[in-house]
Structure 1
Amino acid sequence: MTFLTSNLLADGVRIAYRDQGRGEPVLFIHGTPSHAGEWRHIVPRIEADGYRTIAYDLLGYGLSERPAHRDTSVAAQTDLLEAVLDTLSVDTVNLVAHDIGGAIAQRFAIAHPERVRRLMLIDTVSYDSWPSATWRKIIDEELDDCASLSQEAFNTLLTRQLTMTVSDTTLMTGELLHDYLRPHQSPLGRLSFFEHQVRHYDSTYTEEIADELPSLRMPVRILWGERDQWQPVTYAERLRDDIPRADLVVVPDAGHFVMEDAPERVTREIGAFLAEPVPSQEGGDPRRVERGR
């Protein structure tokens, strides 16, 4: 699929990105094992609603640079997000973030609350919720041997994991599955996957900010697939309770990649959230609204 259209240089590294439309900026941060293409059904529709939409592949992911000696941890990706916004001359932004992208967004919103107008977290990692049991097993028992995997063995491993991301497993087949596997169809691609992504599956990055979540004052909406096999809904409920003004929307019959299971619903929820006025960030009672079951 062709989704990202250009490249930019931010903090000395090349980032593949898309920046289209006019209006209030909305930046989408993808998860793992993934790339910005996961937003392909969502972004054009939000753009059509009158927003400037920005999406990019995280460093070491997808079409972005895969540097041999550069930190691609959640903390480093958070710093790079700031550099991307500065490069694009974006002062304040609405963040829509999924999975590990949600960890980046949480950290950025805590560190730079003045730059985040609204925050939407979609099936995000949080607290000690990650890595999932299946990824933990791979990290503990197989990570050091993964670099030597054949292409066939690698594809089998990643296909098994990707199939767990959707409620409707028939979706993760054919061309869609190929698109998720495509960045890793070479020795460099396989090595990069484990070095830039899997090696940084570390809950330290979310546990160390857990006590700061109550400091967030921008509107926050949490969107979750009810059948998420990697991030149970209990973590969504915990986030809702810890973040002032946060509300929670649970999407039935959807998994961890809720944007694949229910793209229309995800688009509607993002659009509705962006259309809501931003209240004063001073005082007020936190909202506790649960919808969509």
Structure 2
Amino acid sequence: MRAFEEIPSRQVRLADATINYRELGQGPPIVFVHGLLSNGTLWRKVAERLQTSHRCIVPDWPLGAHTAPVRPGADLSPCGLARMVAGFLDVLGLQDVTLVANDTGGAIAQMVATEHPGRLGRLVLTPCDAFDNFLPPMFRPLQYTAKVPGALYVAVQALRAHPLRRLPMTYGLLAKRPIPDHIVDGWLRPAQTRHATRRDTARFLRAIGTAHTLDAAARLSSFRRPVLLAWATEDRVFPFEHARRLAAILPRATIAPIADSYGFVPEDQPERLAELIRDFVNATNPATRHERQETS
């Protein structure tokens, strides 16, 4: 089994951006979407566990921890990011994709499901922005840093102090257990050291608003593929009630409560999440269902 962090990055060139990604394993494709100020390493423990049965494709999306800046003038709104995800799937020629998302990435995934569903076979949402919770209240000050010259630079430099990373307005309410320092260092270093990364991040922050998630919610009933809502029951940032609301809208949704975890389920409960994803993909894969019937 290959260790995630030892796998070299590959690149996909889109019209508006170059996306770095890691790939491990073979089998039905799973593509992961992280959130703001994190990158693909958020999914490292989950992808390592799924690589024995699935092709895990783990990009670094331009959400504040990316090293490949996007083209000037690119659409960095949430809908623009959804188009990038769809374009990424197109370039790799992926079909029947399981899209797995967390945090801000879950809002983007909802827009992929409503606007670009063609290559999706199923959707997995872990705790994420939804409805009128985009951004969650404790993170809204981040949007002000995007509007004041130099403020975002000061904010990310302050997070060189490790104790500040456990504050409620940073990563403190997202993970129940401490995230390894070298992982968070990797999330923050691009914005701390690259003007272009901060520029992209500020543009995305300025474009965030509940109009995007409310519009997606109003159209999610049209997404008729299987959906798994693998949601943390203790999450104070992305309330469990939102999983129930999403399940009431999505025609083929299943809720899987996850105990002993905050919103970063890939950090707090990677083994449980990987198990849920594997079982969900197998149960909703027509080929797998046919094989089970043949052997029964």
TM-score (norm 1): 0.84
1:26 counterpart SS class: strand
Answering whether residue 240 of structure 2 is matched by residue 233 of structure 1, we say: yes
Matches within 5 A, 1:63-82: 63-67=66-70, 68-82=72-86
Q: CA, structure 1 residues 167+148, in 2 after alignment: closer, same or farther (shift >3 Å)?
A: closer
SS in 2 for 1:42: helix
The within-5 A match list for 1:192-203 is: 192=199, 194-203=201-210
Q: Deviations over 1:64-87 (max 9, x none)?
A: 422343222210111111211121
1:143, CA displacement in angstroms?
A: 4.4
Give the secondary-structure state (helix, strand or coil) at the position aligned to 1:217: coil
Give the 5 Å matches for 1:88-99.
Answer: 88-99=92-103
Aligned residues of 1:7 and 1:17 also touching (Cα < 8 A): yes
Superposed CA deviations along residues 237-267 of structure 1, whole A, max 9, x for unmatched, are 1101111121111211200111111111111
Shift of 1:158: 5.5
Name the structure 2 match of 1:186: 193
Cα distance 1:159–1:33, how it changes in 2: closer, same or farther (>3 A)?
farther
Kept in 2, the 8 Å contact 1:3–1:37? The answer is no
Match of 2:56 in 1: 53
Q: Does 1:108 align with 2:115?
A: no
Unaligned runs of 5+ in 1: 280-293
CA contact (8 A) 1:20 1:47 kept: yes
Answering whether residue 282 of structure 2 is matched by residue 275 of structure 1, we say: yes
Count the aligned residue pairs: 276
- Say if 1:33 and 1:197, in contact at 8 Å, map to a contact too: no
The SS at the match of 1:22 is coil
Answer whether contact 1:154 1:190 (CA < 8 A) is retained.
no
Superposed, 1:211-290 pairs within 5 Å as: 211-278=218-285
Moved more, 145-154 or 202-211: 145-154
Return the match for 2:32 from 19, 28, 33.
Answer: 28
CA distance in 2, matches of 1:39, 1:144: 32
Q: Which deviates further from its counterpart, 89-98 or 187-196?
A: 187-196
CA distances 1:140-168 after superposition (whole Å, capped 9, x unpaired): 58841514527642545665311221123
In 2, the alpha carbon distance for the partners of 1:137 and 1:154 equals 15
Alpha-carbon contact 1:132-1:230 (below 8 Å) kept: yes
CA shift for structure 1 position 223: 1.0
2:146·2:206 contact (CA, 8 Å) conserved in 1? no
**What is the CA-CA distance between 1:59 and the residue it aligns to?**
2.5
- Residue 69 and residue 114 in structure 1: after superposition, are their counterparts in 2 closer, same or farther (change >3 A)? closer
SS at match of 2:128: coil
Identity rate, percent:
27
Whole-angstrom CA distance in 2 between matches of 1:82 and 1:265: 28
Contact 2:50 2:278 in 1 (8 A): yes
Does structure 1 residue 207 correspond to structure 2 residue 210? Answer: no
Are the equivalent residues in 2 in contact too, given 1:221–1:247 (CA < 8 A)?
yes
* Distance in 1, Cα, partners of 2:112 & 2:245: 19
Q: Is the 8 A contact 2:106 2:125 kept in 1?
A: yes
Kept in 1, the 8 Å contact 2:64–2:197? The answer is no
Cα 1:38/1:264, change in 2 over 3 Å: same
Identify the residue that residue 282 of structure 1 maps to in structure 2: none
Amino acid at match of 2:132: D
Aligned pair 1:18/2:22, yes or no?
yes
**Structure 2 residue ranges without an equivalent (≥5):** 287-296
Aligned equivalents of 1:193 and 1:113: distance in 2? 26
> By how many angstroms is 1:4 displaced?
5.6
Q: TM-score, length-normalised on structure 2?
A: 0.83
Could you tell me how far 1:60 is from its partner in structure 2? Answer: 4.9
